[in-house]
Amino acid sequence: MTASQSHIANILVVDDDPRIRQMLTRYFEDEGYAITAVADGASMRSLLPRISFDAIFLDLVLPGGDDGLALAREIRTGSDVPIIMLTGRGDVIDRIVGLEVGADDYIAKPFHLREVLARLRTILRRRQSPNPSIEQVPEQILRFDDFTLDLGRRLLLSASGSEIELTTGEFDMLAVLALHPRRVFTREVLMDMTRGRGLEAFDRTIDAQIGRLRRKIERDPKKPELIKSVRGIGYMFAAKAADRS
- The domain limits of the chain are 10-128, 132-244
CATH architecture of 132-244: Orthogonal Bundle (1.10)
Verdict on whether the full-model pTM lies above 0.75: no
pLDDT in tens, 56-102: 999 988 877 778 888 998 998 888 899 998 887 655 556 666 667 77
pLDDT in tens, 143-174: 888 899 988 888 899 988 899 988 888 888 99
**Counts for the chain of helices (H) and strands (E), in that order:** 9, 12
Give the alpha-carbon dihedral of 197, 203, 209, 215, to 10 degrees.
Answer: 170
pLDDT in tens, 197-245: 444 444 567 888 899 899 999 999 999 999 999 988 899 999 865 555 5
Could you tell me which CATH class the domain 10-128 is placed in?
alpha beta
